[in-house]
Structures are given as C-alpha cells and as structure tokens.
Amino acid sequence: MTTAHFDGAFTDGWIRRFAASARATEPELTALDQQSGDGDFGVNLNAGTTAALARLDAAGPPDAAGRRRAAGPLDAAATAFLDEVGGTSGPLFGLLLQSLAAAADVEDDRLTTPALAKGVAEGLAAIRRVGEAEPGDKTLVDALHPAAEALAAAGAPTPPDQALRRAAEAAWQGVRDTAGLRARLGRASYLRERAADVPDPGAVGVALFLTSAGGTVTALTPYLSPAVS
Amino acid sequence: MAAYFGNAAEDLVPDALAGFARAHASLVTHDTEHGYLLARDPAPGRRVALLSGGGSGHEPLHTGFVGRGMLDAAVPGRVFASPHNRSVYEASVAAAREDGVLHVVKNYTGDRINFGIAAERLARRGIPCARVLVDDDLASESEEIRAGRRGTGGTVLVEKILGAAADSGLALDELAKLGGELVARCRTLAVASRAHTAPTTGGPAFELDAGQLEYGVGIHGERADRARAHGPSSELVAEMTGSLLQTLAPSRGDAVIALVNGLGSVTPLELYGIFGELGRLLDDRGLDLARCLVGNYVTALDMRGFSITLMVADPLVLERYDAPVRTAALSW
C-alpha cells in the first residue's frame, strides 16, 4: 500500500490490530512487568484496547459515502484509555492517541506523514509534561522519543505506512536499549539494579502500537532479541 | 475495619460524600457518577473556577472548602489515593468559567500525574487550565528527594486567599502566579505521637517507641525521617517555629497568618495550648500575628499529631483572607 494519507478505515483497523497485538502478547508483557514493575501492565494495556474496541463497535460503520474521519477511531481509543484504565501508563497512552487524533483533525481529517509526526511529537511532549520523564529514565518515553525523531526525519515525501515502519523500528531499538538502563521513576525505580536487564514494558507497548499500524504482533521475543532490527 | 464506623473500607469515601452532600445541600451538589462536589452558588463575578482534590482521609480538606469564596469544585480520591484523571476532567468541565479552571494540587506524584492528564484533556477541548502546586512541607525539603516538598496544611490558606482573588475577577494567569507566590511564602511542619488507624486492618499504621514522637510527618500516615523525645510543648513548638522562621525569613514587624492544625485526634485543648506557645514565640520575634486558624483542617485520618503553618502576609493578602467565605469548614 502506498498512499499519501490514512483515512478512518485505516485508523479503525490500526486500533483493532493494536488490540489483537496486546491480547496475543499479554502473557509476555505480564512476565516482563513482573520483573520490573507490579505486573499489571499487560492487563492494563488489554483493558484499554478492549474498551477501545467496544467504543469502535459502538460507533458503527462508516457513513453512506464510505467516509470515516481518521480522527474518530483515535479519539475513541484515546477516551477509552483515559477514562477506563487505572494506573499511570494506560492514561499516558491515551494522551498519545489524543494527540494523534488532534493532528488528524488539523490535517483536513487525513493522517499524512507530517500529521503523524506532529501527533507523535505532541503526544511525546504531553507525556513528558505529565509524567515528568526524560529519555533515559527507562519509561515509554525511551521508545516514543526515537519514534518521533524517525517520523520527523521521514517528512512529507515518505508515504505514511513507510514512515510508521521506520518509527516502529526506531521504537523497538529504543525498547532494547531500555534493558541497559536503570529506572529513575515509577515502580521499577524501587528495584534499582534488580530490574536492570529487563526492557521497560511501557516502551514495549509503544512499539507494539506503532508496529500494529502494519500488522498484528503475535510474539515479543523476535523484537526483543538484539539480533533482529 | 474493626475500629472504623462504616460499612466496608472501600465504602468510606462514597458514603461520606453522599452524607456530606446531604448535610450541606445548600452549599454543594454531588455528581455521583464521577464522584465530585460542585459549589451550588458560586460567586457570579468569577472568571476562573478553582478546583482542588486529592486522596481522601484529610477531611475537611477539600470538600469542606467548596462554596462561596473558596473552591468551585472538589474531587476526592480513595483514602490517601489520587482521584482518577476522568473525575478531575469531568469536574473541571462542569466547573469551568469563561477564563477556564485553576487546579490547586498538593505535591504528590499521583496527583501531579492525574491532574496533569486532566489538564491535557482540557487543552484538547479548548478549556484553559493552569495549576498551582502546593509544596509547603518543610520536612520533605531535601536535595535527595526528586519529588520535592509535599503539599500539606498550607493548602487551606492558599485556597482561601485564591478564592477571594478569583472573586475579584482575576484572570487565569494572574491567579496561577498569585498561587505560586502564596506557596513560596508559606511553610508547614508536622509532628505525631501516634500513627493513624489503618482502615483495612483496624490497627495502627506504624508503631512508635514510648516517649518518642515523629518529627516531620506528612499527611498520609508516613513516618518522618527522624524521631525525637516527646518533651514539653514549649520546647517542641519552639523547635518547629524556629525551623519555619529560619526558612521563611520574615522581617521584624511582618504580618503572619498562623494555622495550628490537628491531624485527626489531637484535642482542641492541646491545639489551643500549642497556639498559645506559638503566639508567644512570634511576639518575641517581633512579628505581627495578624490572623490565625486553630482546629482540624487538613487531617491524616486519626493520626495523633499536629502541624504548624506560617504564611508571611502583606495587606492585600490579609484583605483577601478576610473576604467573606461560606463553606462547610470555613465561614465568615
């Protein structure tokens, strides 16, 4: 597929694939989070995507002309994560989705590569404002920051599917790099060096979301192994 | 729950909110879906709504300060736990005026995050939002604590004075700036001789050795970083006041607002004795004890302890402090 922008049917499919990826990898996410946090990240992520699916289904099919706002499914998923997920990282995901929806709104309701870059950059900024996390703190920022840079570098000439692939690759590299970091914030910070070799589950969630734009992720292991890039 | 009079630990907050809303029906309305309180009859001249919230267990904070002259909305969380961002967001949307909403947030990580997420959502909806972060607790001031000083008793004074300022029609950025200035000239220290009773177990949250007290406690039943001998109040209050004044560094003749606050189960008899000591110490330093509050305003369930808050005030701050207020816990 090479298209200059994503429409509502695409963003709807993206959220559905994200939900399928979250479901398929929940045991692995839970195992990761048990080593570094309180073990609820996989469950919280699935609570968010499940609530998002319910909202997508409630929104019904596209209108008679076959059109669907690109922002619609992203806004629905944002509200699901913001309203219905406990803990911290679920609502922070909601902020990323909300910023993507806002960017799609501005770009004539089409998700172009520059709109994606803007949405992810603003989502990153919002998450950093709220969570007060910086790159290197071993949080989801460590996946989102390189992804935002990859999207910004891609620019308008790059089709959005290709730009998202690069962003996902950059995010997975960021995920693998978190395995070498020591947490300074959040629950993992109390474990100090005991959680040192484990990648951050929140960062994995970001990479899962970006990869799900192109397909469903069924297992984390290939992405977490340093041999794969 | 053995020690608590309630139905179940998780029902303490919703049951109390429903009861509060009925007892003070002339002052507040209760949104049961999202669990917040709104002022029934806020001042019409306000351009900015004032909203606060945070974990429960600190009553009368914040619900007791909803009404004319103070808060437009309060969003309580579960006991000692931050409210969900959705409740903060929904309450903010319901309360917002033409120039938006000001969040008064005590400095705790969970509150910062949940109020922060709500603020991002309000921005998406086009509702202006700013924050005053209250971090008045002197005991948690340390280079090593990245989270910074906690927010405690000073919150009451900040909310009262900001309320009067909001009633006079100040804009959002002006109120946020004023809030920061008020916090900067306000510090609190708290001590406790007995932990609160944990609602889940019915037992004390921690044990203290006989004859000891915790010096520098917060309002969530956490221990202080040091214990000291429990001696006469004259010595204890002198040590606390000395630390506060050293940090605030007022000049001779400066006006001071003092809050002697019970943390839950210290008697009024004791609180007034403590206030008497404080008044003498301020007199000796040549300070003008201009206004005072003595009583339970920011509690930690039934912790047996008290806090002293001092705020250095100028004539405008005193004028705003004196402005009329009609809430369940403050009224003049």
- Residue A71 burial class via C-beta count within 10 angstroms: exposed 0-12, middle 13-18, buried 19 and up: buried
On average, the pLDDT of chain B sits at 95
CB-CB neighbors (< 8 A) of B146 in chain A: 184
Q: Are strands B49-56 and B73-79 parallel, antiparallel or unpaired?
A: parallel
What is the token pair recorded at B131?
A: 């924050």
> Which range is least confidently modeled, A19-23, A82-86, A125-129, B251-255?
A82-86
- Residue A166 · residue A148 · CB < 8 Å: no
What is the average per-residue pLDDT within B238-252? Answer: 97
Q: How far apart are CA B198 and CA B1, in angstroms?
A: 8
CB-CB neighbors (< 8 A) of B84 in chain A: 86
> Which range is least confidently modeled, A37-51, A161-175, B92-106?
A37-51
Q: Is B58 a catalytic residue?
A: yes
Q: Are strands B255-262 and B226-229 parallel, antiparallel or unpaired?
A: unpaired
pLDDT at A191: 52
Burial A100-109 (b: 16+ CB within 10 A, else e): bbbbbbebeb
Q: What are phi and psi of B303, to 5 degrees?
A: -60, 140
Cβ separation A130–B86 shorter than 8 A: no
> Which range is least confidently modeled, B29-43, B172-186, B206-220, B263-277?
B206-220
Cβ separation B121–A102 shorter than 8 A: no
Q: What domains appear along chain A, each with residue ranges and CATH number?
A: 7-224 (1.25.40.340)
Q: Is the pLDDT of residue A17 over 90?
A: yes
pLDDT at A66: 56
Exactly one of B30, B62, B103, B220 is catalytic; which is it? B220
Instruction: Look at residues B126, B80, B127, B124 and name the one whose alpha carbon lies nearest to residue B106.
Output: B80
Nearest CA in chain A to B112: A130
- Residue A207 · residue A174 · CB < 8 Å: yes
pLDDT at A229: 46
pLDDT at A64: 57
List all residues 6 or more positions away from B231 whose beta carbon is below 8 Å from its beta carbon. none
What is the average per-residue pLDDT within B268-286? Answer: 98
CB-CB neighbors (< 8 A) of A92 in chain B: 117
Exactly one of B58, B62, B103, B196 is catalytic; which is it? B58
Instruction: Look at residues A148, A146, A166 and name the one whose alpha carbon lies nearest to residue A158.
Output: A166
Instruction: Look at residues B206, B204, B189 and name the one whose alpha carbon lies nearest to residue B308.
Output: B189
DSSP A10-73: HHHHHHHHHHHHHHHTHHHHHHHHHHHS-S-HHHHHHHHHHHHHHHHHHH-S--TTS---SHHH
What's the pLDDT band for A63 if we cut at 50, 70, 90? low
**pLDDT tens sequence across A188-204:** 555 555 555 889 999 99
pLDDT at B237: 98
Q: Is B103 a catalytic residue?
A: no
CA-CA-CA-CA torsion sign (B120, A217, A34, A173): negative
pLDDT at A131: 87
For tokens 């192994």, what's the residue? A225
Q: What are phi and psi of B264, to 5 degrees?
A: 145, -45
> Which range is least confidently modeled, A146-150, A224-228, B74-78, B189-193?
A224-228
> Which range is least confidently modeled, A105-109, B28-32, B222-226?
A105-109
What's the pLDDT band for B43 if we cut at 50, 70, 90? confident
Nearest CA in chain A to B34: A83
What is the token pair recorded at A51?
A: 């609530």
Cβ separation B89–A86 shorter than 8 A: no
* Secondary-structure breakdown of chain B: helix, strand, coil percentages, each rounded to the nearest 5: 35, 30, 35
Name the range with the highest mean pLDDT among A179-183, A190-194, B69-73: B69-73
> Which range is least confidently modeled, A165-169, B3-7, B143-147, B282-286?
B143-147
Query: Could you tell me the pTM of the whole model?
Result: 0.91
pLDDT at A198: 87
CB-CB neighbors (< 8 A) of B117 in chain A: 82, 91-92, 94-95, 130
pLDDT at A109: 74
pLDDT at A211: 97
List all residues 6 or more positions away from A219 whose beta carbon is below 8 Å from its beta carbon. A24, A25, A28
What is the average per-residue pLDDT within A171-182? Answer: 91
- Residue B48 · residue B97 · CB < 8 Å: yes
Cβ separation A82–B89 shorter than 8 A: yes
- Residue B311 · residue B75 · CB < 8 Å: no
Helix (H) or strand (E) holding A201: helix A201-211
What is the token pair recorded at B122?
A: 């309000």
**pLDDT tens sequence across B180-210:** 999 999 999 999 999 999 888 888 988 888 8
The one-letter amino acid at A160? P
Q: What domains appear along chain B, each with residue ranges and CATH number?
A: 9-184 (3.40.50.10440), 186-322 (3.30.1180.20)
pLDDT at A228: 46
DSSP B133-170: EE--BGGG--TT-TT-SPP-THHHHHHHHHHHHHHTT-
Q: Is the pLDDT of residue B262 over 70?
A: yes
pLDDT at A67: 64
What's the pLDDT band for B173 if we cut at 50, 70, 90? very high
CA distance between the termini of chain B: 37
Measured in angstroms, the CA of A5 and the nearest CA of chain B are apart by 23
Measured in angstroms, the CA of A164 and the nearest CA of chain B are apart by 24
Q: How far apart are CA A147 and CA B183, in angstroms?
A: 39
Q: Is the pLDDT of residue A187 over 60?
A: no
E strand spans, chain A: 5-6, 111-112
- Is some CB atom of chain B closer than 8 A to the CB atom of A190? no
